[in-house]
Amino acid sequence: MLYPEELQEYNYSPEKILETIFENSNEGLLVVGENGRVLQINDSLALTLKSTPDKMIGKPLTEVCKHSGLRKLIKIIKNGVPEFGKIDSIEGRSFLVDYLPIKNNQRIQGALAKIKFLNPERSGNQEIDENTAKTRVKKKQSAVFYTVDHIIGNSPQLIDLKETLLKVAPRNSNVLITGESGTGKELFAQAIHAASLRRSGPFIKINCAAIPDTLLESEFFGYEEGAFTGGKKGGQTGKLELANGGTVFLDEIGDLSFALQAKLLRFIQEKEIQKLGAGDTKISDVRVVVATNVNLEQMVKYKKFREDLYYRLNVVNFSIPPLRERKEDIFELAECFIEKFNRLFGFQVTGISEEVQNVFQKYFWPGNVRELENVIERAFNVMEGNVIEKQHLPSHLITLVDSDNHGAGKSVLQQESDLGITFSEGQTLEEIMNRTEKLIIIQALKNSKGNKAKASQMLGISRPGLYKKLVKYNLV
């Protein structure tokens, strides 16, 4: 510990130390006196409040700061009770804030707000040198494009997930993200990294289903030159090593072989990496975030996934609801996609017709948010005018409109089943059959009020057979 006389010897001063602290661009600091006037504020926070320190210091906080959260400092001055870990946002920048009373001999003389920005703004000084193509490729592979502010929707489920994300992100615990295809699992993974203390480190994605099992180990851990025939000259660095200091996102984790599950478990426990063909090991400090659209708990039950790895991964679980369970978010998402494609196509589409709105609310959305985005993009390719109408929708949605207009009174399942024999754009026969089978199983469960024994009898299949299909379609 340095004492005052030692600080003088090293030419340090308390003022210089405080100045350094206040210059931290990733944190905000605000000090208010007992009279409620701003005594100090750093540039980062003042900029976020669209002001400058010289315009705020000496002025009443209530006059120069319209943000209700920061005004809580007045309350702290009055009651002297600190508050920690509050989550808030200013101008789209999410943050964690601690409110602390400033005391001298038990007398409150002011209050301090200490802010940790969770999605700091990028500046020109933070850009990575891209003089070579290799640097550009490496940056692209580890880039994060989304933060929690890109998660669109105000349904209660989504608000709860976003609040939990901001609480969990600054920690280092492993995260398991579950949800059907198209719900936005990678979006959540990137948002967790962007809101974490590792955000300045790399974000590396590995799709466990897209890489052959024979190559996946080398993708994970890398290899030395000559480790196997056909390897690159000089070898290759593994993704787990590239992610050192950051986050690795393992998508479709349920497709990982048992052998690789064991090696991944060892890495999570020891943080050690051993390249193929190498004798030594390296340490890589990585946070592991995984995602799956299958029920891992059921896979563990049927010995398809290691139980010890499952519990290592399932420290924090985010279960993203399908779009059909948060239909209040559909129109906000549609508006977001319309804005996106207006920019891409150079159009000025203003919205969707009332008829299309009704279809969007009644449709089952088996492809979730991704399917909604594709439907909007298709409309942009075929439409004329500035409103998306019924005729701009895919054929299976037009059929849904027509059946509704004829007053058939069919359930969504019946309408969708009728469509199972219709080839949807971009869908194979297998995909249509899988979708139809899933819908029939859902209807059977509804009719049996969740009784799986009755549902299996109704479907004419064994109970274990039904369980396998429930696992397959993530319905358990």
Give the integer Cα–Cα distance in Å for 23 and 208. 42
User: Stretch 40-67: mean pLDDT, rounded?
Assistant: 85
Bridge partners, residue 102, by sequence? 110
The pLDDT of residue 81: 87
| DSSP-assigned beta bridge partners for residue 112 | 31, 100
Residue 115: the pLDDT is 85
pLDDT, mean over the chain: 81
- The amino acid present at 115, given as its one-letter code, is I
Split at pLDDT 50, 70, 90, the class of 203 is: very high
Chain center to CA of 247: 12
The DSSP-derived string for 13-48 is -HHHHHHHHHT-TTEEEEEEETTSBEEEE-HHHHHH
For residue 92, the model assigns a pLDDT of: 56
Confidence (pLDDT) at 296:
92
pTM of the model: 0.62
Query: Do the beta carbons of residue 299 and residue 305 sit within 8 Å?
Result: yes
Chain Cα centroid distance, residue 66: 30
Contact assessment for residue 165 and residue 153, using Cβ atoms and an 8 Å cutoff:
no
How far, in Å, CA of 135 to CA of 125, rounded? 17
% the chain with pLDDT above 90: 36
Report whether pLDDT(18) > 60: no
**Average pLDDT score over residue span 228-247:** 84
What three-state secondary structure class fits 333? helix
What pLDDT is recorded for position 466?
A: 86
pLDDT value at 420 more than 60? no
pLDDT in tens, 211-225: 888 788 888 998 887
C-alpha triplet 350, 356, 362: angle, nearest 5° = 140
Alpha carbons 425 and 427: distance in angstroms, whole number: 6
Mean pLDDT computed over 158-178 = 93
Token duo for residue 448:
């049996």
**What was the pLDDT predicted at 400?**
64
pLDDT tens digits, 329-369? 999 999 999 999 999 989 999 999 999 999 999 888 888 99
> pLDDT (tens digit, 9 = 90+) per residue, 431-441?
778 888 888 88
